[in-house]
Amino acid sequence: MLDTIQWDADLIRRYDLAGPRYTSYPTAVQFQDDIGPFDLLHALRDSRKAGRPLSLYVHVPFCAHICYYCACNKVITKDRGRALPYLEKLEREIEIISRYVDRTQPIEQLHFGGGTPTFLSHDELRRLMQHLRQHFNLLDDDSGDYSIEIDPREADWSTMGLLRELGFNRVSLGVQDLDPEVQRAVNRLQTLEETRAIVEAARTLQFRSVNIDLIYGLPKQTPERFARTVAEVIALQPDRLSLFNYAHLPERFMPQRRISSDDLPSPADKLAMLQNSIEQLTRAGYRYIGMDHFALPDDELAIAQEEGTLQRNFQGYTTHGHCDLIGLGVSAISQIGDLYSQNDSDIASYQQTLGNGQLATRRGLHCNADDRLRRAVIQQLICHFELRFADIEQAHDVVFRDYFEALWPELEQLHRDGLIELSAEGIQVRPAGRLLVRSLCMLFDRYLNDQVRQRFSRVI
């Protein structure tokens, strides 16, 4: 069974390394400042000529309240008036980008992330969606995969009704933890009733999917308290559930400095939380998709994994990895063919550049042949827990064993340790290795070294 996980505490202790989550390969850490608007527009022309379908990501950075654990690119403000100048520049970016896209290229996937996208007023959300429909080929038959991140404290039934009317059919709810003491420690007070009201609204309004995000390793958490949170969330029956490991990096993320390291759970308690949560979710019928993600068996992600079509990109696990991804808004990342590009991460600079009629593309990279090969290997392992050497050899014209000769002793060690089954035909990730698949993928990362590794969270 694809979703089988075997808990092996000894292996976890040995292979719980810091490393990337591989929403891309190469990762954003490798982006350089020599990529600009010209590179993006050139890639868009190639996408148009090929007639590839598109995925849009729209970044709305504003939050009314700061959550101390957060590592997102965000702007904390209670001044709702700050949204309009940003919206105007976002619309300008949409206009420029759309000139290089053909109307026949369907927008199969759309995602509003943040920040808190529902920070925008109903009129502003309506205006933004109208602008997107005016300039891109958004689907009108509800067949698209159109999702939005929601803070249940910032939404109500009327908000959900508006979002459904605008064409959204998936929602992702930030919850993190339902224990009041934990919530106070991270400055995110949110009742179970607030969350349940949004889930019930989504069901009534026939949203296709509800995802709930949880985080383990937060201050004041204990295995017993977190087990209660997981049980209460399971009772809401979300279609998907994400269970993230909190990475305490106060030197990189200023809000985390308000969290006392003395309040953080011990490594042993963190492991207990993860193990308990996996057991609870498995008993409730959820399948382990990989990389902190669980889904019910009839969810599209679970079906895609069974059928071998699951992929991964900057929006996480997806059934739309074949689409070119256009990122809109401050810090947004695009992946178009072999180009990765990222907008300016400073909102003032982003707005000023677009105010001058220019795109705010600031950094990125062009993938070379080696990047494409390693990306294919990592994607296959992280999405399907198996790799057939013949597939890689045929697609990239290499002899796998020769190309990765230097890795073979380490792969053989993983085989001996029981993480993988290594044969002449390929690699199969064993149940004991599924939680540690990132550690396997790191072997194939040409850019990873100790200095780069320090920028990432641990696997578990």
| Exposed/middle/buried for residue 442 (C-beta within 10 Å: 0-12, 13-18, 19+) | buried
- Residues in CB range of 316: below 8 A, 6 or more apart: 23, 291, 293
Asked which of 267, 298, 327 is the last residue of a domain, the reply is: 327
Q: Distance between CA 266 and CA 390 in Å, rounded?
A: 44
Give how many domains the chain has, as a whole number. 2
Strand partners of residue 167: none
Strand partners of residue 287: 295
pTM for this predicted structure: 0.94
Assigned domain for 346 exists: no
61 and 6 both lie in a single domain:
no
Q: Which positions make up the binding site for [4Fe-4S] cluster? A: 63, 67, 70
39 and 138 both lie in a single domain:
yes
Asked which of 327, 359, 379 is the last residue of a domain, the reply is: 327
Tens digits of residue pLDDT in 128-148: 999 999 999 999 999 999 999
32 and 20 both lie in a single domain:
no
Assigned domain for 79 exists: yes
388 and 289 both lie in a single domain:
no
Assigned domain for 360 exists: no
What is the DSSP code (8-state) at residue 28?
G
Q: What number of residues does the chain have? A: 460
Domain CATH number, residue 431: 1.10.10.920
Q: Which positions make up the binding site for S-adenosyl-L-methionine? A: 57, 69-71, 114-116, 149, 176, 188, 213, 247, 333
Tens digits of residue pLDDT in 184-211: 999 999 999 999 999 999 999 999 999 9
Assigned domain for 284 exists: yes
Domain CATH number, residue 304: 3.80.30.20
304 and 192 both lie in a single domain:
yes
Q: Distance between CA 8 and CA 245 in Å, rounded?
A: 18
pLDDT at 450: 66
H-run or E-run covering 170:
strand 170-176
Alpha-carbon dihedral sign for residues 149, 141, 53, 36: negative
Residues of the chain below pLDDT 70: 1-3, 450-454
Assigned domain for 117 exists: yes
Assigned domain for 345 exists: no
Q: Dig out the tokens for 102 from the structure.
A: 């053909």
Which ranges of 99-156 would DSSP assign to H, the alpha helix?
122-135
Q: Which positions make up the binding site? A: 57, 63, 67, 69-71, 114-116, 149, 176, 188, 213, 247, 333
**Domain region containing 10:** 1-26+368-459
**SS3 (DSSP) at 83:** helix
20 and 47 both lie in a single domain:
no
Q: Do 226 and 216 meet the contact criterion of CB atoms below 8 Å apart?
A: yes
- Residues in CB range of 389: below 8 A, 6 or more apart: 400, 401, 424, 425, 426
96 and 127 both lie in a single domain:
yes
215 and 76 both lie in a single domain:
yes
Assigned domain for 92 exists: yes
Assigned domain for 32 exists: yes
Q: For residue 422, give the amino acid letter.
A: L
199 and 236 both lie in a single domain:
yes
**SS3 (DSSP) at 243:** strand
48 and 176 both lie in a single domain:
yes
Asked which of 273, 296, 327 is the last residue of a domain, the reply is: 327
18 and 89 both lie in a single domain:
no
66 and 160 both lie in a single domain:
yes
